[in-house]
Structure 1
Amino acid sequence: MQYLSILPLLASAVFAAPLQERSAPSVTIANGTVIGSSSGGVDSFKGIPFAQPPVGNLRLRPPQSINKSFGTITATGIPRGCPQMYVSVDNSNLPEAVIGLLADTPLVQTVSDAGEDCLTLNVQRPSTATSSSKLPVVFWIYGGGFEFGSTQLYDGSALIQKSMAMANNVIFVAVNYRVGGFGFLAGNALASEGSTNLGLRDQRLGLQWVAENIAAFGGDPDKVTIWGESAGSISVFDHTIINGGDNTYMGKPLFRAAIMDSGSVVPVDPVTASQANTVFTTVAQYAGCSGNSEATLTCLRNKDYTTLLNAMNSVPGILGPRSLDLSYLPRPDSSDNFFSQSPDVAVTSGKFAKVPIIIGDQEDEGTLFALTLSNLQTNDDVVNYLASYFPGDANAEADVAALMSHYPDEPLLGQPAGSPFRTGIFNNIYPQFKRVAAVLGDITFTLTRRVYLDVVSSQVKAWSYLNTNFYGTPILGTFHATDILTLYFTPALPAAQATMAYYISFITKLDPNTLNPSMTNWPQWDSTGRNIVNFSGLTVTADKDNFREDAYQYLKSKTNVFKV
């Protein structure tokens, strides 16, 4: 395992020692007074409740605003994480050992003190901010496959300190939302009472809290950028199509820009689809609750926490044999307007918020998710496996077989099709690994991003990137979430500094170049030029978004049938 030594080094990297603390900052908002802490020129208020605890009869229901004062709270501890869908790892072989190592990094480490009373958010600001500062705000939504993740893992201090150094201060807000079955269980029973996509509803209520309260911390509610990674990035996209693209609250937009790191359009079947009801039935049976009805929900709401948690986690997880065929994810629910259409339909019909965007990917998005699929030894194995992702496609096997024809069956030296890309015959840890990694990354993140940009770039300003920072990392390459490992856990690295500079310019000026005239110009993406930037080690270079064009054109033609 010596060749993986770079990962624990990343995981153990810490921020520079904080400056001496000053007296505790205090802010009064609608529901009470919040006392925080101050360090390194940054005030932090962590674990501020923005919704009533979703427990008891509020379990598996949309979040409810706090309707009474909480008095004075000290927001200085570690916020409780929402119930997690834990990862089980077999360390007896190479793929699972790699996952085990990753699971011990800050990115996916087990969240401490998890529980249902978890709907809180963090606010961090420059210590010089006052209620009259009107600073731009960035609203962070974490990733984790809609199964795990918490605000515990993400500190915005480095971003704020960078903004201070650039003389364009920002405020950082991070929101907790329900994940796994607690946040994204679907099926007929939940659809009948409008209790679907609860994690997205949590995020939306957090955004509404920002609109109502961020001015007291020195933020400008009219200058909010939403930002997320992986499932958080998909969530950011989803917020652009919620309510048919209407992102207003009390007559004003909840956000004016969006940043998406690895994730956008995910074509999905509705909350009442067969796969959604299968997951619901499995959970209910495991919990000792039969059926798929109102009585079943009552039973689930009355179960003790541990029993329900184990039931929710009894279905396949993201780092298991079903990989990116997620048990839990946002699904359209036509019973109300909140999230009523499959994302691909909403985009092509123009029902999305017209705000400027940044969106990009890691070069090798799929390697991490292909590690546990070593049973896929032949092309037929791959086709049959991927076809099962799309139960609504009557011709799934033929459609997937045609897609796989764009990824050579046995990559030879110099062929670009296998991931980690640009590594020839190397890193193919089982016969179909590089092909599976390539196609999983493309259909979920990389080429889907291009399909999305092709539609929206004529209507909004868009900038896109490819991150290749970890090129050469054995087996994984520049794997999914490496940009977040860099930004949050090794922020002093040149790549992190460059990314933060571009993002701060975008957050404050709605253009990544305005504050960075001496850096590589980041051109807008359009369907003619397809210009992107490449974050590669110590450099940022201009590039073209034209790789794997044949596969892209085929995926584009099948958007309406490749639905999970």
Structure 2
Amino acid sequence: MKKFIACVTLALGLLPISVTAQGQVNVTIPSGTIIGNSIDNIEEFNGIPFADPPVGQLRLRPPQKLSTHLGDFYATGVAKLCPQGPIVSLPIELPSCGITAAGAVTESFGDEGPEDNQSEDCLTVTIHRPAGTKAGDNLPVLFYIFGGGFMIGGTSVSINNPTKFVQASIELGKPFIFAAVNYRVAGWGFMPGSEILREGSANAGLLDQRMGLEWVADNIEAFGGDPSKVTIWGQSSGSISVFDQLVLYDGDNIYNGNPLFRAAIMNSGSVTPVDPVDSAKSQALYEHVVREANCEGDDSLACLRGLSHEDFAAAANSVPGLLSYESLALSYLPRPDGTVLTASPHVLAREGKFPAVPMIFASQEDEGTLFSFFQEDMGSTDKITDYLSDLYFHNANKSLVRSFVSTYSERPEDGSPYRTGAIPPLCPYPGKKRIASILGDIVFTLIRRWTLETIDAVHPGLDLWSSFASYDYLLNPLGTKHGSDTTVFFDKTNAYPPTLRGRKYYINFVYNMDPNDGLPVNVTWPKYTEGKQLLWYNLLADTLRTDDFRSNTSDFITDYIDSLRF
């Protein structure tokens, strides 16, 4: 991220804890004694390994459980990030507002820090808990899966720091334990291709997340947590990952006879309809990486595993960045492999292949604005149709895609940022507000509605809630953009009204699987099945709104979702 900003700027064991030393605490688990930091009223244990290093012959393979004893392990530093994918692919001519765009990117995705804090040996869990917590306290656990488009991110990225959230839980009298998992991203975690499929090595990043959950089941009691009270939470691609964890192995979340989690929260992400890991697009990507690595031959996978980290990274990252003309047509993401994901998540949702646990789904009002910087000219239905047909919807004929695009108004005042009338968008170009609306809907907002309606159809009566955030309305040129929620939940204090209100709902859910039960809330949040009412987060006061906006588009997605796969 620093390089991007600089470039844009230039171009434009269940034992009680014991204090080992001032500021340090330890917890003993079967793999070793974990020594952490005690800072103010929070104890943190950073980067605890749960798997063998996925290097050499373990690169591009499913994770292997930790096979060595850690001894005295100092979890007092900064957890290593897994190697990061490309963040941005810059056009030849940068938009005049590029510096502002860079700031928006940093605000949403955080600063990954120095490159020397990245390592392929990165499969770790980080724990934050209230000071003085001990085995037997049985606090509920919030298990977090970070976002970043399956390209970037990590537990040590600034936007994922939960310290203020955990502190708030203490102040509110409802303390919990926060556990976050580091998983492989980009080509390391989600390499596609028939070679990967034949070997059984697809979706390694999802399996990293699942092994992190298993580590929590095995060890969280020693940290004072209750393994039977785990809520999984994710944001962006982490939210998509939460839904994938729901449908993983056809919905089997049982480990050693017990469920790995009892509830789920998804912020900006749910179902993503996708083609298989050996589809034409997937295979072309794999072959591109192999060519870039000079690994063409009889055993290209062995060659990729034999590369130095630098050479593999250069090949794997020779794809469009997370922010680019290609935008949300991501190169790397979870895809069906017949075993881990037996089918596209939308198919598994429709078949009811997920545990019937209480769920919260959240959206930001302007999910698509952050991903619409570099499309340059989307000033007609035909141009948007060509763009979506070429990069997104390979299974749909152009007439179908054109019909989909035609469900969106061509009037700029109807696009995103929404409710801004004639105010021009940031980095204006023809059709920008329209394409921002489309991108936000197909990955986040309206696919959320499809997911909720589908879950309700196959599991009637399941406890479901959904929210819609507008706290940055007219305060940010991108509106309430994708990633706004990480700042609200993690970075701000309880003095910021939306933060206090949002934290109360989530803490109640973590404790009681009901956002209204426990800490007092200002607005009772109705279940989604009660008239499709959304909790509407606003700056000064929350209210409710009906989830019926852009209904023509939503109906179209419902009718043709099998053709609208990525």
Counterpart CA distance in 2 for 1:438 and 1:120 is 37
Counterpart CA distance in 1 for 2:393 and 2:135 is 53
Give 1:167 shift.
1.9
**Amino acid of the structure 2 residue aligned with 1:114:** Q
1:167 aligns with 2:173: yes
Counterpart CA distance in 1 for 2:175 and 2:412 is 48
* Mean CA deviation greater in 43-52 or 98-107: 98-107
Name the residue aligned to 2:363: 361
1:500 aligns with 2:500: no
Counterpart CA distance in 1 for 2:108 and 2:394 is 37
Counterpart CA distance in 1 for 2:476 and 2:67 is 53
Name the residue aligned to 1:435: 434
Give 1:390 shift.
4.1
Counterpart CA distance in 2 for 1:552 and 1:69 is 52
Give 1:374 shift.
1.1
Name the residue aligned to 2:538: 536
Give the secondary structure class of the aligned counterpart of 1:559. Answer: helix
1:514 aligns with 2:536: no
**Amino acid of the structure 2 residue aligned with 1:561:** S
* C-alpha distance after superposition, 1:321-376 (max 9, x if no partner): 11000000000001x2x211101100111111111001110000001111111133
Q: Which runs of 5+ in 2 are unaligned?
A: 1-20
Name the residue aligned to 1:330: 334
- Asked whether the equivalents of residues 502 and 512 of structure 1 are also in contact (C-alpha less than 8 Å), the reply is yes
- Asked whether the equivalents of residues 178 and 202 of structure 1 are also in contact (C-alpha less than 8 Å), the reply is yes
Counterpart CA distance in 2 for 1:470 and 1:94 is 23
Give 1:500 shift.
0.8
Name the residue aligned to 1:213: 219
Name the residue aligned to 2:559: 557
1:290 aligns with 2:292: no
Counterpart CA distance in 2 for 1:94 and 1:401 is 31
Name the residue aligned to 1:342: 344
Give the secondary structure class of the aligned counterpart of 2:291. Answer: helix
Count of matched residue positions in the alignment of Structure 1 and Structure 2: 534
- Asked whether the equivalents of residues 164 and 492 of structure 2 are also in contact (C-alpha less than 8 Å), the reply is no
Name the residue aligned to 1:15: none
- Asked whether the equivalents of residues 108 and 486 of structure 2 are also in contact (C-alpha less than 8 Å), the reply is no
Name the residue aligned to 2:134: 130
Q: How well do the aligned residues superpose, as a CA RMSD in angstroms?
A: 1.6
**Amino acid of the structure 2 residue aligned with 1:148:** I
* Mean CA deviation greater in 137-146 or 510-519: 510-519
1:420 aligns with 2:417: yes
Q: What percent identity do the matched residue pairs reach?
A: 41
Give 1:378 shift.
2.3
Give 1:466 shift.
0.3
Counterpart CA distance in 1 for 2:523 and 2:57 is 54
Please point out which of 485, 493, 502 is paired with 1:483: 485
**Amino acid of the structure 2 residue aligned with 1:53:** P
Name the residue aligned to 2:156: 152
Give the secondary structure class of the aligned counterpart of 1:558. Answer: helix
How do residues 58-97 of structure 1 correspond to structure 2 at under 5 angstroms? 58-88=58-88, 89=90, 92-94=94-96, 96-97=98-99
Q: What TM-score, normalized to structure 1? A: 0.92
Name the residue aligned to 2:374: 372
Give 1:109 shift.
2.0
**Amino acid of the structure 1 residue aligned with 2:95:** N
1:200 aligns with 2:203: no
Give 1:403 shift.
1.4
Name the residue aligned to 1:14: none
* Mean CA deviation greater in 200-209 or 512-521: 512-521
Name the residue aligned to 1:7: none
Please point out which of 98, 107, 114 is paired with 2:109: 107
- Asked whether the equivalents of residues 162 and 501 of structure 1 are also in contact (C-alpha less than 8 Å), the reply is no
- Asked whether the equivalents of residues 367 and 475 of structure 1 are also in contact (C-alpha less than 8 Å), the reply is no
* C-alpha distance after superposition, 1:179-225 (max 9, x if no partner): 00000011010000011101100000000000000000000000000
Give the secondary structure class of the aligned counterpart of 1:36. Answer: strand
How do residues 378-389 of structure 1 correspond to structure 2 at under 5 angstroms? 378-389=380-391
Counterpart CA distance in 1 for 2:333 and 2:100 is 25
* C-alpha distance after superposition, 1:234-279 (max 9, x if no partner): 0001000001111110110000000000000000000000100111
- Asked whether the equivalents of residues 501 and 521 of structure 2 are also in contact (C-alpha less than 8 Å), the reply is no
- Asked whether the equivalents of residues 166 and 175 of structure 2 are also in contact (C-alpha less than 8 Å), the reply is yes
Counterpart CA distance in 1 for 2:430 and 2:468 is 27
**Amino acid of the structure 2 residue aligned with 1:40:** D
Give the secondary structure class of the aligned counterpart of 1:94. Answer: coil
Give 1:159 shift.
1.8
* C-alpha distance after superposition, 1:140-188 (max 9, x if no partner): 0000000000101222222222222222220000110000000001101
Counterpart CA distance in 2 for 1:481 and 1:391 is 25
The alpha-carbon distance between structure 1 residues 321 and 144, as it changes in their structure 2 partners (threshold 3 A), is: same
Give 1:398 shift.
1.2
Q: What TM-score, normalized to structure 2? A: 0.92
1:45 aligns with 2:49: no
Counterpart CA distance in 1 for 2:108 and 2:430 is 31
Please point out which of 459, 470, 475 is paired with 2:472: 470
* Mean CA deviation greater in 95-104 or 440-449: 95-104
* C-alpha distance after superposition, 1:14-61 (max 9, x if no partner): xxxxxxx95411100110000001112111000100110000111110
- Asked whether the equivalents of residues 377 and 430 of structure 2 are also in contact (C-alpha less than 8 Å), the reply is no
Give 1:95 shift.
5.3
Q: Which runs of 5+ in 1 are unaligned?
A: 1-20
**Amino acid of the structure 1 residue aligned with 2:545:** D
